[in-house]
Amino acid sequence: MQQYLNEIYEEIKQTHLTGKVASYIPELQHVDPSKFGMFITDVQGNQWHIGDHLDLFSIQSISKAMTAALVFSIMDEALWLRVGKEPSGSSFNSLVQLEYEKGVPRNPLINAGAIVMADLLIDLLNDPVPDYLNFVRKLANDGSIEFDLNVFESEKKTGFRNIALANFMKSFGNIHNDVDDVLDLYFKTCSIRMSCKQLADAFLLFTNHGFHKNTGEQILTVSQTKRLNALMQTCGFYDEAGDFTYKVGLPGKSGVGGGIVAILPNKYSVAVWSPVLNAKGNSEAGMKALELLTTLSGHSIF
């Protein structure tokens, strides 16, 4: 596995990236575009890494998979009364689709769906902000994980489309709590800072049938894990999920901070970070690195 990573690293270094770092969230545009890191951990505890795998970055929409896992672990199938299970086929912050479908988001991995998840967490948790952070820390087995409050404030000041999405769903009755409280939690979940190592460790949950690798605790049932993995496969990359499935062949989730996490069930989880994004909002080098990984190793779900 380390040999594969070394080959990937050399090829990525020679690749001319044509995209740009995220700029619609002002705080993210200051990230060094040359950064690249990758970390793999398997269910036996083996680890392999290259590059800036310990650097912290804003995980953004990667958080949506963990948010959905927390809500699903509490509500089970009742979750799907508030959000769908279908790929969006449009941009991650589309208003048009929401109007057509009367305020019910296509899935929990797009912005509107994750805002509904935040609304549900306010009802389900005693103290939603610290409770959510503690859940992420538990998954990663790392109590040092924190919110990036600079990113949070930056998103809160400029998140006009997300504010519109929340209010639009409120008008259809699919947001039950105060919109400001819901968005506060949503923006905080997106602002969490993690490294490739921490993300790969956290996503072992999805590799390991819902069991926490370190404690043995069953956080998700086998059935719930299977269903969330299916959603990551079909919905985890905005309107580029089909292309990711075609090229990489692993369930995963991306974020506009430049991170991508993917899993091979029963085997390993892998996180990659490169902040330069393609036109769809996914890490350009990250997509290529994961395609190379499954090509070189011959491992995918297909």
SS3 26: helix
**What is the structure's pLDDT at 92?**
60
Question: CA–CA separation, 161 vs 169, rounded Å?
Answer: 12
Q: In which band, very low, low, confident or very high, does the pLDDT at 207 lie, cut at 50, 70 and 90? A: very high
Domain boundaries, the chain: 2-297
CA–CA gap between residue 48 and residue 27 (Å, rounded):
30
Mean per-residue pLDDT for 280-291? 96
Is residue 198 pLDDT above 70, yes or no?
yes
For the entire predicted model, the pTM comes to 0.95
Flag whether pLDDT at 109 surpasses 80. yes
pLDDT at 41 over 90: yes
Q: What local confidence, expressed as pLDDT, does residue 95 receive?
A: 79
- Whether residue 116 has pLDDT greater than 90: yes
In the prediction, which pLDDT does 140 show?
98
- The span from the CA of 122 to the CA of 273, in Å, is 30
Q: Exposure of 231 by Cβ count < 10 A (0-12 exposed, 13-18 middle, 19+ buried)? A: buried
Q: How far is CA 252 from CA 14, 15, 204, in A?
A: 25, 23, 12
| pLDDT for residue 94 is more than 80 | no
DSSP string, 219-252: -S-HHHHHHHHHHHHHHTTGGGHHHHHHHT-S-E
In this predicted model, what pLDDT tens digit does every residue of 138-191 receive, in sequence order?
999 999 999 999 999 999 999 999 999 999 999 999 999 999 999 999 999 999
Q: Does the structure show a pLDDT above 80 at 91?
A: no
Tell me what pLDDT residue 70 has: 98
What is the mean predicted confidence (pLDDT) over 28-55? Answer: 96
Q: What pLDDT is recorded for position 24?
A: 83
Q: What does each C-alpha distance from 83 to 133, 174, 217 come to in angstroms? A: 23, 9, 27
pLDDT the model gives residue 220: 98
Mean pLDDT of 217-233: 98
Domain 2-297 in CATH 3.30.365.10? The answer is no
The secondary structure element, H or E, covering residue 114 is: helix 111-124
- CA-based nearest residue to 83, from 91, 74, 72: 72
Query: Which pLDDT tens digit goes with each residue over 155-165?
Result: 999 999 999 99
Q: What is the pLDDT of residues 42-74, one digit of tens each?
A: 999 999 999 999 999 999 999 999 999 999 999
Segment 197-226 mean pLDDT:
97
Which of 240, 230, 237, 236 shows the shortest CA–CA distance to 265?
A: 230
Residues 6 or more apart from 197 whose CB is under 8 A from it? 39, 41, 47, 49, 53, 54, 271
Residue 137 three-state SS:
helix
Alpha-carbon torsion 232, 143, 145, 135, what sign?
Answer: positive
Residues 155/96/174/66 CA torsion (nearest 10 deg): -50
Please give the structure tokens belonging to residue 225. 């894990």
